Structure 1
């Protein structure tokens, strides 16, 4: 029941989240008006559900708190990198190191296998115990790809405080959602009416 309430208040995905799961990860903790927050990785079950929705873990992966904490930690490092890129400032070396560590923790090259009946094939090695490590590597690699791609020029933070989500700007749009855009326009209109700006 609690899950249903949370889902109702979650803003829709932002521009770029479908193509870049690292952007979805960065936006999985949201600040809302009135000092409220939503953390889509707040519990192991929520983390498992988030990973499953993105094809990064099976429904029955049985994510534990330690794994959920690793994902939340990577989220903060990726948020730090996205903020540095959006603001045009140097990244924290620890954030770069965390992303590189996550990318190199598991083999990402599909390895050669040989089946007695069907012969040679290639597959990525990821035993069940490494599901979260593989998800971390995939998300970290996506963040590195995004930060080094032409899309990085469009990476920006939502322009409607207190929202803390990132998006890939499309045209002049500077908000992550219609809700944030309406809130920002209403705040500007109020400031003009009250003589505050």
Structure 2
């Protein structure tokens, strides 16, 4: 985080907060929130290992339960996540969408193979095969997530997008009402506690006059 060294956590299941508002409706929003910043300079990556990424995909019906991923496949997932977060940030900050992020999402949209390819070898002759099974699964997951992100960013719910307003959290959410800027009860409690502490410790000279 800003000005703070982050410590990666290896066991995400125990510390992961509940899904942010909107994450159950948009898997792309849930995907963007797999990079978590926690109090105390800790960082939690729900895609931090092939096993964790496979579990995340399977739980969201983007991969079979017994899928085995390679690190190179997980790196592709994390790369798209970073670009998606850049698009969400530009949308919530009312800034132009980054070209690199647009290219990454558009590339993912067209990644999934539409059909098995035609191959020939002496043993089988002409036959049709899919790409490497793991590649095909990841390509499909990337395409689904990219399409979901495109729907979110261009649909009516884009107006409800917001970043959690409780540092150091950096999750995104869909506001349930105009004032909702916290992604979880945990973040809301932390923000209220921080404000209460600031009021208690404010020096007399800091108080507004008049």
Q: TM > 0.5 between the two?
A: yes
Tell me the number of residue pairs that the alignment of Structure 1 and Structure 2 aligns: 181
Alignment RMSD (CA, Å): 2.0
Match of 2:181 in 1: 174
Structure with the higher fraction of residues in helix conformation:
1
Distance 2:47 2:95 in 1: 28
Task: Provide the TM-score with structure 1 as the length reference.
Answer: 0.86
| Mapping 1:83-98, distance limit 5 Å | 83-98=89-104
| Mapping 1:40-119, distance limit 5 Å | 40-107=46-113
Unaligned runs of 5+ in 1: 112-124
Output one character per residue of 1:104-142: Cα deviation in whole Å (capped at 9) or x when no partner. 11246x99xxxxxxxxxxxxx887340000000000110
Distance 1:89 1:42, change over 3 A: same
Structure 1 stretches (4+) deviating beyond 6 angstroms? none
Output one character per residue of 1:42-91: Cα deviation in whole Å (capped at 9) or x when no partner. 00010000000000001222111000000000000000000100110011
Match of 1:184 in 2: 191
Q: Secondary structure at the match of 2:40?
A: helix
1:190 CA drift (Å): 0.8
Match of 1:145 in 2: 151
1:173 CA drift (Å): 1.3
| Mapping 1:8-47, distance limit 5 Å | 8-47=14-53
Answer yes or no: is the 8 Å Cα contact 1:126–1:134 preserved in 2.
Answer: no
Distance 1:56 1:10 in 2: 20
Distance 2:48 2:74 in 1: 8
Q: Secondary structure at the match of 1:34?
A: coil
Distance 2:77 2:156 in 1: 26
